[in-house]
Amino acid sequence: MGFLIRCTFWLSLVLLIIPFGTSGGNETVESVGPIQALSAAREAVGDISGICERKPDVCVTGKAALHTIGVRAREASRIAFELLDDKFGEPDATTTGTVPAAQTVSAAASEEAKSE
């Protein structure tokens, strides 16, 4: 969602910078230049960053929403990784052998006594 908002923002700035030479058919609306648009965007970002001071509950809700989105994205990426690993992953070619259990000193001494 954030990616789409950023793309829309930057695309609108690019469209303001490109000179098309037409006013869109509406002569009563004043045209906005790229400097004015950049200044307005900077003020809008400043206003958005100050919303936590005016309405702290919005920031708390936003923080919780971002946390939930992050947890869901992490879980979705884990599931996708497991599915892709099962389908396209190479089998592990490492062969392991068994290792006998370690014997204590008293057990080793008793075995030596048996063998004699």
pLDDT-wise least confident of 32-41, 47-56, 76-85: 32-41
- Domain residues for the domain of 66 are 54-89
Average pLDDT of the chain? 74
Instruction: Please state the domain count of the chain.
Output: 1
- Residue 13 included in any domain: no
CB-based contacts of 49-58 (< 8 A; 24+ apart in sequence): none
Average the pLDDT over 79-106 and give the result. 75
Contact 13, 41 (CB under 8 A): yes
Q: Does a structural domain hold residue 102? A: no
Beta strand segments in 1-116, E: none
